[in-house]
Amino acid sequence: MSTAFAGVHCASLAEELERVYRMLADASGALKGEAGSLSSTGPCHALEHVERAFALSRFERDLLLLCAGASLESRFAAACSVLHQCKEAAWPTLGLALSTLEEPHWSAISRARPLRYWKLIEVGSGPLLQAPLRIDERLLQFLMDVPAVEERLEAVVRPMEMEAATGSAHEQVRAALAHWRTSRGTPVLLISSASSVRRAFFLEMCRAAGCEPYMLRASSIPAAAAERELLARIWTREYALTGKALFVRADESENVRHLESFFEMVDAPVAVEVQPGSAEEHLEGLRLTLRASSATERRKLWVAELGPAAAAQMNGSLDRIVDQFQLDAQAIRHSVSAALRENDGDVAAKLWTICRQHSRRALDHVAQRLEPRTAWQDLVLPPQQTEMLRQVAIHVRRRATVNEAWGFAGRYERGLGLCVLLSGPTGTGKTMAAETIAGELDLDLYRVDLSCVVSKYIGETEKNLRRIFDAAEESSAILLFDEADAIFGKRSEVHDSHDRYANLEISYLLQRIEAYRGIAILTTNMQHALDSAFTRRIRFIVNFPFPDPAARRRIWEGIYPAQAPRGEIDYEKLAQLNVSGGVIRNIAMHAAYLAADDHDAIQMAHLLTAARTEYSKMNRLLTAAEIRGWA
């Protein structure tokens, strides 16, 4: 470094950057040769870090420092004007640096050299020697020890909240860290169907590596090659400065090639979440198949967060909460905090409700939530069917005992979920039964919209089903497939490509139903249309019979709310109508509207008119036997 600039370097290191580095107090005087003895405050560690991280030459380091001084000290402008012998030229230039700094070389601002490749300085317009040079804002903030976010990353990269250590998967964490050290050009693939498991493992990696965790959605990676390269370069620079690690969320990104290209250009620790069977699973990198936390591990987390309340206020319901809700450490901590914040009631009940509300978010955007409004007394079924439905509830309530305490989960990997088929004619109460089971178990019930699942495009149906099943396992809700024969139909002989791909959809469903660990209820009025291979995978098949006269009378007697005004209604005669419970409800509601329009209570005449309208809709005629004695 020349005599004229020696003071700049020393002042910038020691005197002017008060916290991490002092501002360039004597910068203008140093430029004029009026000041410049070495400061005794010690080295500029941030500058040394930048010099090592980006392999800067001595001239490149001093040029970067010159640009920093010009941004920090207003007197630099006057000094530059003096040296340029031009009042308007109040900025550093390559010509100024070449003439005053030691060991100068033209390649310092080549696009291939660190200063410009890593965007450490920006070159303004004009001839190269006279073009203004400016230090990058993010780098200046780093040198000043100012907390900052790179502007070009701010819109797409988000910090992740570090959770409490789980202490699990030590061997896999060590393997992942070794891959980060030796193969940073390829990511670590975190393979699991549960997003909470992938996230928790990544945070465990960051904790072990001492890295700050950040998240990027795959859909935010630019499709344009130049923009994608810039994003990769800027993130690599951010890692070199601060040691941050990146977690890429594969949120249904359509083009895996963009991910591959991005990973090839990033020289930093990266992990990507992968759904089993997805296109991301074929990416190059270290594949780690992660297992979900066991009930025993989750129970330890719950007990640690609840403290004394685990024994005093949970009323023996902790095991069921642990088994039902697959929450990670962060979700458990937040749930317990919310439940104990106002200790004015049943902590166990409040905690169950909070867990339901937290878990349901996974399914809210892929299925329709139904609010259960029925109870066992509302179901009109033979005793055998009612008993089977109650057994369904027993299987759900006692899963923790059988699967965990009695060891079934450790011995059998598949078949641990609960699949129920409700079969019978339309309107016999199948959906009502599903609502009743959900209400009995105090669980959310989500109905799958088949119009949003089935697609004519090859592979799209399976992708939609995978998204729904994954969300259902994460949400701990009951999944309802109404009119299930539409997608659970029989496989057929292959005559063309359409048959082949239709059979692939059924085969995928068979595999997924068997591996599914949640609760699924299927309803159909065409049981014969279902593939026979589903029978083994279905734990309960409940056949809903068409109601006989006695059952129809019970339905009629309970069809109206208590506040609905009723006249002289003969339920025995109404039971003569040979219709299902769903049709009875339609007739009853239509009669109520007719009565309201007459400003009268509901009468048999209203019911007769409503029955005729409903029969006409079904292309049926009321027979004399059905209306004998009341029409």
Q: What does the pLDDT look like over 467-477, one tens digit per residue?
A: 888 888 888 89
Q: What is the pLDDT of residue 174?
A: 92
Report whether 94 contacts 108 (CB < 8 A).
yes
Q: Which CATH superfamily is domain 376-543 in?
A: P-loop containing nucleotide triphosphate hydrolases (3.40.50.300)
Could you count the other beta carbons within 10 Å of the beta carbon of residue 588?
A: 21
Q: Which two tokens stand for residue 502?
A: 């239709």
Q: 63 vs 32, 92, 97, 106, 133, CA distance in Å?
A: 17, 9, 7, 12, 9
Nearest to 559 by CA among 525, 577, 583: 583
Q: Which residues contact 71 (CB under 8 A, 6 or more apart)?
A: 134, 135, 140
* Length of the chain in terms of residues written: 631
Where does 156-245 have alpha helices with state H?
170-182, 195-209, 225-242
Helix (H) or strand (E) holding 157: strand 157-159
Q: What is the pLDDT of residue 502?
A: 60
Domain residue spans in the chain?
3-143, 154-289, 295-357, 376-543, 549-617
Residue 313 has pLDDT above 80, yes or no: no
Give whichever of 5-19, 31-45, 262-276 has the largest mean pLDDT.
Answer: 262-276
Tens of pLDDT, residue by residue over 126-165, are: 787 878 888 999 998 888 777 788 888 988 999 998 776 6
Residue 196: pLDDT band by 50, 70, 90 thresholds? confident
Q: Which residues contact 38 (CB under 8 A, 6 or more apart)?
A: 6, 10, 14
Nearest to 480 by CA among 441, 513, 520: 520
Q: Which two tokens stand for residue 601?
A: 């209570």
Q: Which two tokens stand for residue 387?
A: 């008993």
Report whether 442 contacts 292 (CB < 8 A).
no
Q: What is the pLDDT of residue 253?
A: 54
Query: Do the domains spanning 154-289 and 376-543 agree at the CATH topology level?
Result: yes
Beta bridge partners of 446: 369, 479
Q: Which two tokens stand for residue 425?
A: 């004619």
Integer Cα distance of 150 and 158 in angstroms: 11
Q: What single-letter DSSP state applies at residue 163?
A: P
Residue 540 has phi, psi (to 5 degrees) of -125, 135
- Read off the pLDDT of each residue in 153-182 and give the average, rounded to a whole number: 83
Fold designation for 549-617: Helicase, Ruva Protein; domain 3 (1.10.8)
On the 0-12 / 13-18 / 19+ scale of CB atoms within 10 A, 95 is middle
Reduce the DSSP state of residue 13 to 3 states and report it: helix
Tens of pLDDT, residue by residue over 616-625, are: 999 999 998 9
Integer Cα distance of 579 and 32 in angstroms: 102
Q: Which two tokens stand for residue 414?
A: 């598949």
Report whether 310 contacts 302 (CB < 8 A).
yes
Integer Cα distance of 54 and 56 in angstroms: 6
Residue 441 has pLDDT above 50, yes or no: yes
Q: Which two tokens stand for residue 242?
A: 């601060």
**What's the predicted TM-score (pTM) here?**
0.73
CATH class label, 154-289? alpha beta
Give whichever of 19-23, 312-316, 473-477, 531-535 has the largest mean pLDDT.
Answer: 473-477
Place of tokens 């209820």: 521
Q: Which residues contact 468 (CB under 8 A, 6 or more apart)?
A: 363, 366, 367, 448, 453, 479
Q: What single-letter DSSP state applies at residue 33?
A: T
At residue 204's C-alpha, the angle toward residues 199 and 205, to 5°, is 100
Residue 95: pLDDT band by 50, 70, 90 thresholds? confident
Integer Cα distance of 571 and 57 in angstroms: 97
Helix (H) or strand (E) holding 116: helix 114-117
Q: 129 vs 67, 133, 271, 424, 433, CA distance in Å?
A: 15, 10, 43, 85, 81
Helix axes 329-341, 195-209, angle to 10 degrees: 100
Report whether 287 contacts 263 (CB < 8 A).
no
Q: What single-letter DSSP state applies at residue 402?
A: I
Integer Cα distance of 265 and 367 in angstroms: 38
